């Protein structure tokens, strides 16, 4: 397995990680527990050492699943989890939105440690920037946890460039996590240059565009109400139909490389920067193996220039997330 380093403090991860959210949350009913454990362990057996979860996935159940699955080889893996939502610790009910008050961050860390069956969190992200708490206070709280040995590295999810700089000045940021893919290239404007300047790793979530870039969707695809994609504007019928032109392009590149569309999408991300480590998620072993196959695909500078030129002619239709989530993301 190829390895990559995130940040300047020695956090080494597999070039492709595993996003574990979909095993418990957002894409319909959760998978059966033993099936989830089996998939996570199969990823480890194939060389994956970077696993991403969050307290809000479930809530809580995804951390419990990841903790149990990885317990036998805890010291050989990197576990990333997240804080920042207002969740009742007893009932798991979401409260009034965001909460990154320092005392809340520390309480979440303690609870996450128990669910993950571990004595330290390798990478602790603020899940969404809280406009009511100065980012300096957030970074200070995580710095305290690092000094106590409960957290190893500090991360930010979906921040703006100014927020990254302010946080980094208090506690060095090891990784920034934001949506990034052939379908959504927003981080290229400010976020990736900021990360490069400051020496921060970048972790693309939804690197396959919530399944869109696998080529599995057609203009007639519709999602169950339990699937968050049912409320995503870019997957509404008219937008989905218009956006399939992008998938046609990716299919063409895939044929030329003897690859699948998903493999091309992941190979493209891996080729952008050596400090980018995508975290595709799946519930299926065959898809896990397909995704890992992206590591064997080489895109030449000429390939990348051609792809960039073709992509520049396409305007993706529909917002990337529902309005209420975009507000939380500060976008």
Give the H or E element holding residue 285.
helix 285-292
Give Cβ neighbours of residue 17 (< 8 Å, ≥ 6 apart): 48, 49, 50, 51, 52, 78, 80, 203, 277, 278, 279
Rounded CA-CA distance 82/69 in Å is: 18
Q: What counts of helices (H) and strands (E) characterise the chain?
A: 11, 11
Rounded CA-CA distance 283/21 in Å is: 10
| Residue whose entry in the numeric block shows the structure tokens 């957290």 | 151
Which residue of the set 27, 57, 125, 180 is catalytic? Answer: 57
Give the H or E element holding residue 23.
none
DSSP state of 29: S
57 is catalytic: yes
Which positions are catalytic? 57
């Amino acid at each position: 397995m190829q390895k990559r380093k995130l940040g300047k403090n020695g956090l080494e991860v597999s070039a492709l990680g595993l996003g574990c959210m979909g095993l418990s949350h957002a894409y319909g009913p959760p998978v059966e527990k033993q099936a989830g454990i089996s998939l996570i362990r199969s990823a480890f057996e194939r060389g994956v050492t970077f696993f991403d979860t969050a307290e809000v996935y479930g809530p809580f159940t995804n951390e419990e699943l990841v903790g149990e699955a990885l317990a036998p080889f805890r010291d050989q893996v990197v576990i990333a989890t997240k804080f920042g939502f207002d969740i009742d610790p007893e009932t798991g009910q979401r409260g009034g939105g965001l909460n990154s008050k320092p005392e809340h961050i520390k309480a979440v860390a303690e609870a996450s440690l128990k669910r993950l069956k571990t004595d330290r969190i390798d990478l602790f992200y603020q899940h969404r920037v809280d406009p009511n708490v100065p980012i300096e206070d957030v970074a200070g709280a995580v710095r305290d946890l690092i000094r106590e040995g409960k957290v190893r590295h500090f991360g930010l999810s979906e921040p703006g460039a100014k927020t990254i700089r302010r946080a980094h000045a208090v506690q060095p940021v090891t990784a920034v996590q934001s949506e990034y893919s052939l379908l959504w290239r927003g981080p290229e404007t400010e976020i990736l240059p900021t990360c490069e300047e400051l020496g921060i790793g970048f972790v693309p979530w939804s690197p396959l565009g919530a399944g869109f870039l696998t080529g599995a969707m057609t203009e007639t695809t519709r999602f169950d109400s339990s699937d968050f994609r049912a409320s995503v504007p870019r997957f509404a019928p008219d937008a989905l139909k218009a956006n399939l032109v992008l998938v046609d392009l990716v299919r063409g590149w895939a044929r030329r490389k003897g690859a699948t569309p998903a493999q091309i999408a992941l190979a493209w991300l891996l080729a952008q920067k050596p400090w980018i480590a995508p975290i595709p998620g799946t519930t299926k072993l065959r898809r896990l193996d397909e995704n890992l196959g992206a590591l064997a695909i080489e895109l030449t500078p000429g390939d990348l220039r051609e792809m960039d030129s073709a992509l520049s002619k396409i305007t993706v239709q529909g917002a990337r997330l529902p309005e209420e989530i975009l507000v939380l993301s500060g976008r």
